[in-house]
Structure 1
Amino acid sequence: MSGFDFTDKVMLVTGGAGGIGSAMCRRFASGGARCVVVDIDAARAERTADELPGTGHLGIGCDVLDRSQVERLFDLVGDTYGRLDVLVNNVGMTSTERFDVRSVESIEREITLNLTSPLIATRIAIPLLQASRDARVVTTVSLGGIFPLGETPIYTASKFGLRGAMLSIGLDLRSKGILAGSVLPSATDTRMLRQEAVDGGNSMQFQDRPQQPADVVAAVVGLLDRPRLEAYARTGESWLVRFAMLAPNLLPKVLPLFRGRGDRGMARYLEDLRRRGLANRVDDRWELVEEA
């Protein structure tokens, strides 16, 4: 049995209509929580909320890059529920465009979405969290917040920064009655990873078979059960990347040793997507099949 009592908890999840976010919401709702599903796509957010077990859920469209929309979001939560028990910062993005060719605007957008927006959301949510008797903040970071990914330096920068910020926030808010921690998953089978694979992204993250959203959800529930600053969906991988960062100057020599395994892993993943009807090979290139 879970040590964290979800019953009647008000739990808000950004990116809540995505693969990981919707899986979180289903788990929370099945335990008796009232979920606020936040997504840039309002229709998807509302549909996800409508499909959750239990009652009292909300699906809200919100562009977290727009501070006025974020302020209205938390005003609505306050008007509806009067408090917020758990804020889950889950929204994020990545791009396979290489650093030397991508636009400055795309760099700014990715940094703002992945790093700045969770900090702003957490700050704006503080009064509602303080109205809770058991306030929590959970942030989805990434093992990319520990280990540099050469093909996706902006994602790495944002996740390195987010990890550090959330460690600091966790230390600061603990004395103020709010427990904050982060979950650091590795590659997870979501639409974002599928897009990265068909676009020829970083193959290093395919050393092992991608985990499932349910694995990340389990890590989140574990963090709620036993509050701490960080939790990992795959503990073995976390030890490997942390060990590797003890000598970062060796990375240029070490990484090529793993490149072949990663390339083979990504090829297997793409074939798995094809078998599942999620990707096709067209004219010597891969394309995602849009899900209904």
Structure 2
Amino acid sequence: MTYDFRDKVIVVTGGAGGIGSAMCHRFAAGGARLVVVDIDETRARRTAAELPGTGHVGLGCDLLDRGAVEGMADHVAAAHGRIDVLVNNVGMTSAERFDVRSVESIEREINLNLLSPLVTTRTAIPLLRASDDPRVVTTVSLGGIFPLGETPIYTASKFGLRGAMLAIGLDLGSKGIKAGSVLPSATDTPMLRQEAVDGGNSMQFQDPPQQPADVVNAAVSLLDKPRLEAYVRPGESRLVRFAMLAPNLLPKVFPLFRKRGDRGMARYLEDLRRRGLARQVDGRWELVEASA
């Protein structure tokens, strides 16, 4: 089956980001009406204005503010009366190591990556039930299966989000709402570029980063064929799932992949330099700000 996007009301959180905006463009091209939700209202509105078709809107919303989430739902209810597809795509990471970062930053990352998709989904339930074919798609990560040693808070949030969405999919599936998750690995987005120049987790650079369009294809496949999980790179997902059969061996396995990951991140940084997206200043990498 091929999902029919025509006249569907689709809400995408983190909708102005690299993966989120790519999803919005793909869905809008199929005839959907998009609600682009982002903490940056200006970017949300700009993304909505650039989408093909009509009926799109960009909303600024801090997903850590429950009142703001309820206000966003009220706006959708007034404009459309339903949500056909809710896409929980918001997320963040940090290159700060666990032993030096603030407790406040730990709480914020856990709350944004794990708690906010659950609160947003729960808040959207009445609007989803108003749809003839309600769906929930959540962007998780292979970091929800395999621990990323340099980013334990991201790992914790994604482990929790994967488990929660599996359980929610089982629960809501019996109530007429199909819920599934997409599990991408490193994806060439502004978030990954920032992590690379900050010296983040090199383990995720075993292979060249995938593109946002690859993640979008996996999300569309969930709509075409509803299931609990879809993997952007199936071979990669099988490898990490196999590795987790014996987690006590991870300290021995990690060094085998570290050098390859370091080389992969170095190649990615050089690629960013060639594309004019990053540069080295006094031996340190930094992103090049886009001209206005």
Task: Read off the aligned partner of 1:39 and give its amino acid letter.
Answer: D
C-alpha distance in 1, partners of 2:122/2:32? 23
1:273 alignment partner in structure 2: 272
Q: Percent identity?
A: 81
Give distance in 2, aligned partners of 1:162 and 1:208: 24
Q: Which residue of 2 aligns with 1:28?
A: 27
Q: CA deviation at 1:139?
A: 0.2
Displacement of 1:290: 1.9
Shift in Å at residue 161 of structure 1?
A: 0.1
Aligned equivalents of 1:192 and 1:81: distance in 2?
32
Show CA shifts across 1:214-266 (max 9, x none). 00000000010000000000000000000000000000001101111100000
Corresponding letter in the other structure for 1:65: L
Within 5 A, what are the aligned runs for 1:46-61?
A: 46-61=45-60
Q: Which amino acid aligns with 2:194?
A: Q
Counterpart-to-counterpart distance in 2, 1:58 and 1:129: 18
- Which amino acid is the alignment partner of residue 267 of structure 1? A
Give CA deviations for 1:103-147 in whole Å, capped at 9, x if unaligned.
000000000000000000000000000000000000000000000
**2:158 matched to which residue of 1?**
159
Which amino acid is 1:61 matched to? G
* C-alpha distance in 2 between matches for 1:113 and 1:291: 26
Name 1:43's counterpart in structure 2.
42
The residue number in structure 2 matching 1:190 is: 189
Structure 2 match to 1:95: 94
Aligned length in residues: 291
Match of 1:32, SS state, is coil
Structure 1 SS opposite 2:245: coil
Q: Tell whether 2:233 aligns with 1:237.
A: no
- Whether 1:287 and 2:286 are equivalent positions in the alignment is yes
Structure 1, unpaired ranges of 5+: none
CA distance in 1, matches of 2:8, 2:131: 9
Deviations 1:176-219 (A, max 9, x none): 11000000000000000000000001101000000000000000
TM-score between the two structures when normalised by the length of structure 1: 0.99
Matching residue's letter, 2:200: G
Q: Which runs of 4+ in 1 moved over 4 A?
A: none
The answer for the alignment partner of 1:211 in structure 2 is: 210
Matched, 1:202 2:209: no
- The letter of the residue matching 1:91 is V
Rounded to whole Å, the distance in 2 between the matches of 1:291 and 1:107 is 29
RMSD: 0.6
Q: Which residue in the other structure is 2:227 paired with?
A: 228
Note the C-alpha offset of 1:291.
2.5
1:86 maps to what in 2?
85
> Unpaired runs of 5+ in structure 2?
none
Q: Give me the whole-angstrom Cα distance separating, in 2, the residues matched to 1:285 and 1:74.
A: 43
TM norm structure 2: 0.99
Q: Matches of 2:101 and 2:289 in 1, distance apart?
A: 25
Task: Tell me, in whole angstroms, the C-alpha distance in 1 between the residues paired with 2:232 and 2:224.
Answer: 14
- Cα distance, 1:175 vs. partner? 1.2
